[in-house]
Amino acid sequence: MQFALLDLGSVRADYWLTAAPPQVRPAVAEADCGDGLVVWSDIGEPTALDPIDGLVFHFLDGSCDVPTMAADVHSVLGVDLDVAASRIADSVARLEARGLLVSSEPPPLEPDLLFPLGESP
């Protein structure tokens, strides 16, 4: 299974370094496909998560912010604190972009769904 990572730059990932604890949307479904986790929500398309995003996904219950998760990774695995924080923030930003978090925005409506065919605003 191949995993496509969204290129979000660092803007949204940086946001998660100081934001409130991220939380998975209530209407998210998941399926374990052996090689990884496939998840989807009421506002997002099904997507395969890479192993790290899949692990982070299971900790996003709204009770722990990114710096606290990074500190736990640092203390348990010995990963550099800044590296852990950056990687977790990147994962959270990708999950948000895929419509999996409470903070995710629904995709914009297509203009043809707003107006009958042949009519314009």
Q: Residue 108: what pLDDT? A: 58
CB 88 within 8 A of CB 55: no
Let me know if residue 117 belongs to a domain: no
Let me know if residue 92 belongs to a domain: yes
Let me know if residue 81 belongs to a domain: yes
Domain count, the chain: 1
Closest CA to 73 of 95, 56, 58: 56
* Domain around 61: 11-100
Specify the pTM.
0.75
Please state, as a whole number, how many other Cβ atoms lie within 10 Å of the Cβ of residue 12. 18
Closest CA to 101 of 115, 89, 116: 89
Query: Is the model's pLDDT at 121 over the cut of 70?
Result: no
Let me know if residue 2 belongs to a domain: no
CATH number at residue 41: 1.10.10
- Looking at this protein, which amino acid is placed at residue 59? F
Let me know if residue 4 belongs to a domain: no
Q: Residue 99: what pLDDT? A: 86
Let me know if residue 26 belongs to a domain: yes
What percent of the chain has pLDDT above 90?
33
CA 73, 45, 49: angle at the middle one, nearest 5? 25
Let me know if residue 71 belongs to a domain: yes
Half-sphere exposure at residue 71, Cβ-oriented, CA atoms within 13 angstroms: 6
65-118 tens-digit pLDDT: 999 999 998 999 998 999 999 999 999 988 988 889 988 876 555 555 555 555
Let me know if residue 22 belongs to a domain: yes
β 37-41/28-32 pair status: antiparallel
Q: Residue 89: what pLDDT? A: 92
